[in-house]
Amino acid sequence: MQYVIIGNSITSVGCIESIRKHDTTGAITVIGEENHPIYARPLISYLLQGKTDEQKMTYRDEGFYQKHGVQVLTGRRVEKIEVEGQLLRLDDGSSMQYDKLLIATGSIPFIPPMKNLEEVEHRHTFLSLSDAKELEAELQPSSRVLIIGAGLIGLKCAEGILERVQSVTVVDLADRILSSILDEEGSARVQTHLEQIGIRFHLGDSVREFCGQEALLTSGKVVGFDILVLAVGVKPNIALAKDAGLAVNKGILIDQACRTSNPHIWAGGDCSEGWELLSGERRNLALLPNAYMQGETAGYSMAENEQRFENAIAMNAIGFFGLHIITAGIYQGEDLCFATEKGYKRLFIKDDHLVGCILIGDQVARGGIYTNLIRSRTDLRTLDFAMISEQPALMAFAQKVRSEQLGRAQ
């Protein structure tokens, strides 16, 4: 059996490990464009802060590939998937046969049109380890950095570089930061925290054009900068799949076994669009835990030991300069809000189930209880939810539930 994985990623790790649980002899080949071992992308901001190094960023140790009998082709790109002949065309002119293929091509930066952008000499994206290293090479104590995008990527970049440069200014078309994961109150609290640290914001605004080392905003404001970081967002890297005729929407469409529309091809991670638990709809969930579990599910299926990944939900656990945030699920139904001087919590309840939560600051304690309630679809009538809403504790659950469902959340 010839297993081939496009993308040397966390999704590929899950796939490799599950294949090897059921097939110890089939050949596994990984083709990756980056010249780095598998690493955790969320750590690239900590690399710039000096809180980690490249060795500590690796997702598996150096012996991972050898242990699992994997051939790795780094710095190589698949140019075309020929589905009829089950053949891959590579960038060096070579070709490779596959019996079963996993597409784990991840995501690519979304770059909106901005006048004279191509004339900005020192411009970067912030998605990969290579991006972070290229940005780091240009940072100076006197640098004024302009970041376009006040989402997760842009703000993690700001955190990574703030103490190494003169100033960091963030511009975003939305009227608040982290608008895709926080409500208005949550956004305001995090923004205040970041402004106190020293980050400047221009929200509800955008770049009309670049003139040398100045950005002219639609509001008429002018922002001077030395380095530009484009962090507006990402989009699934579906070009190969689309050209091969696979079913795609925003991402590559997959079922709960991570199969694509082709019986010999699977997909997972940021490039895919699978079924989300709470909405019952297909969604692109570009999250590290989902990426691993989708790869794991695909690997089982590829090795003919089918599993189903049925509890995918949107979830983020992130921090900025010591302020921690957990979000999960969907923001629908009735809501309960709790606020303290150092924290904020909002819970969303629909049809006697917890379907979403926003936890900030001192309210993130035991957040695993809330995320477990969401993912397990626990009926809130079976527990003392009033107690859990204010002070999450396992004593509010029946003994059976405590032992069977929530032991690891304690």
Check whether residue 158 and residue 204 sit in a common domain.
Answer: yes
Q: What pLDDT is stored for residue 410 in this prediction?
A: 44
- As for how many domains the chain has, the answer is 3
Residue at 317 is within a domain: no
With a CB cutoff of 8 Å and minimum separation 6, the contacts of 62 are 37
Q: Which residues is 315 bridged to in the sheet?
A: 328
Quick one: 240 and 228 in the same domain?
A: no
404 has a pLDDT exceeding 70: no
Domain check: are 18 and 56 in the same one? Answer: yes
CB contact at 8 A, 349 and 334: yes
Residue 48 placed within a domain: yes
CATH number for the domain including 359? 3.30.390.30
Q: Please indicate, yes or no, whether residues 7 and 102 belong to a single structural domain of this protein.
A: yes
- Is residue 310 included in any domain, yes or no? no
The SS3 call for residue 67 is helix
Residue 399: the pLDDT is 52
Q: Is 272 helix (H, G, I), strand (E, B) or coil?
A: strand
**Within 13 Å, how many C-alpha atoms sit on residue 212's CB side?**
2
Q: Let me know if residue 139 belongs to a domain.
A: yes
In a domain, 314, yes or no: no
What is the edge-to-edge ordering of all strands in the sheet holding 353-361?
A: 315-320, 323-329, 353-361, 343-350, 334-340
**Which residue range is the domain that position 340 belongs to?**
322-409
CATH number at residue 125: 3.50.50.60
Location of structure tokens 């690519």: 108
Are residues 228 and 240 located together in one domain of the fold? no
Instruction: Kindly state the average pLDDT of the residues 229-242.
Output: 96
Classify residue 296: in a domain, yes or no.
Answer: yes
What is the pLDDT, as a whole number, of residue 402?
53
Same domain membership, residue 104 and residue 23: yes
Span 293-342, pLDDT tens digits: 999 999 999 999 989 998 899 999 999 999 999 999 999 999 999 999 99
In the prediction, which pLDDT does 385 show? 86
**Is the pTM higher than 0.85?**
yes
Share of the chain above pLDDT 90, in %: 85
128 plus 220 within the same structural domain = yes
Checking if the pLDDT of 408 tops 90, the result is no
Statement: residue 400 has pLDDT above 70 = no
pLDDT of residue 177: 98
Tens of pLDDT along 34-63?
A: 988 889 888 999 999 999 998 889 889 879
Q: pLDDT over 70 for what percent of the chain?
A: 95
Q: How much is the average pLDDT of 350-379?
A: 94
**One domain, residues 345 and 374:** yes
